[in-house]
Amino acid sequence: MTTLDPGRGERIVVKVGSSSISGDRRAQIEPLVDGLARLHARGQVILVSSGAIATGMPFLGLEDRPTDLPLQQAAAAVGQNVLMNRYQRSLTRHDVVAAQILLTASDMEMDSHRGNARNAIERLLELRMLPIVNENDTVATHEIRFGDNDRLAALVARLVGADRLILLSDIASLRTAPPDEPGSEPIDRVPYGDALEGVRLGASGSHVGSGGAMTKVDAARLAADAGVRVTLTATPLLERLIAGERLGTEFEPNPAPAAAPRTA
């Protein structure tokens, strides 16, 4: 595995899941931001953050995630505002300013929209802002959406030519089988092109099932194919990862990706 070295000035995309920053785990925003600020001070960092709907639910008196689209959109509209406010208040401790970017699946499919998004992110990075990207749940539909912010993070990493993508959730690492099964072992490294044959993906220390693990694998492969090194681990482990510890599961990048300039 390759250790993370913030001193190299890498361009890094960090994705965090809803379960890591909402509800009982809201307090994880502070240490997460501490890690982001450290990366920001020594390179360029973009955060892809889930959590708008989950954050908005309590303000609408909802205990369970809504199933109908208009109520999901309403929760997202409230939650996105609150979530950005929480991030900015925490980032202010480090004199860092956040910039909100909301994208839809169609934005990433249309050349002009995709180019505009890339140019905006590039300029924000030049201005030393910290872009925070999320799916635009208020206008997204069930039929046209990313489906999971792991995929959105991979697409953003490809879009900006990132050096590394860090997928954070409540999964410490991928495992060869569900963790409660005999013989289940953590997967430290996935060589580029490895089909993981014979592996029944399980999560380590996670409330996310194998389906959740599979979406992360798909996103990791999408980014790795473009030459992005991917690390999958748990949100509380970010600081240790930045400090150089070998943690989680690392997907090695394509050694010969197609050339993709960082600017339009």
Q: How many domains does the chain have?
A: 1
- Domain containing residue 66: CATH number: 3.40.1160.10
- Predicted local confidence at residue 202, as pLDDT: 60
Q: Is residue 209 one of the residues assigned to a domain?
A: yes
Least confident among 35-49, 123-137, 139-153, 154-168: 139-153
Domain that holds residue 60: 6-251
Do residues 186 and 34 touch, judged by C-beta distance below 8 A? no
Q: How many CB atoms lie within 10 A of CB 237?
A: 19
Quote helix, strand, coil % in the chain, to nearest 5.
Answer: 45, 15, 40
The confidence score (pLDDT) of residue 259 equals 58
**4 neighbors 244 (Cβ within 8 angstroms):** yes
Residue 52 lies inside a defined structural domain of this protein = yes
- E-assigned strand segments in 174-228: 174-175, 189-190, 202-203
Binding residues for substrate: 50, 137, 149
Across the chain, the runs of DSSP E, i.e. the strands, are 11-16, 44-49, 98-103, 130-135, 164-169, 174-175, 189-190, 202-203, 229-234, 249-251
Residue 45 lies in a domain: yes
Indicate whether 190 belongs to any domain.
yes
- For 160, the token pair is 């900006």
Is residue 166 in a domain? Answer: yes
Q: Does position 239 have pLDDT exceeding 80, yes or no?
A: yes
Count CB neighbours of 6 within 10 A: 18
In a domain, 203, yes or no: yes
Annotated binding site for ATP: 15, 169-170
- Residues making up the annotated binding site are 15, 50, 137, 149, 169-170
Please check whether residue 259 lies inside any domain of the structure. Answer: no
pLDDT value for 264:
39
5 — pLDDT class (breaks 50, 70, 90)? low
Residue 107 lies in a domain: yes
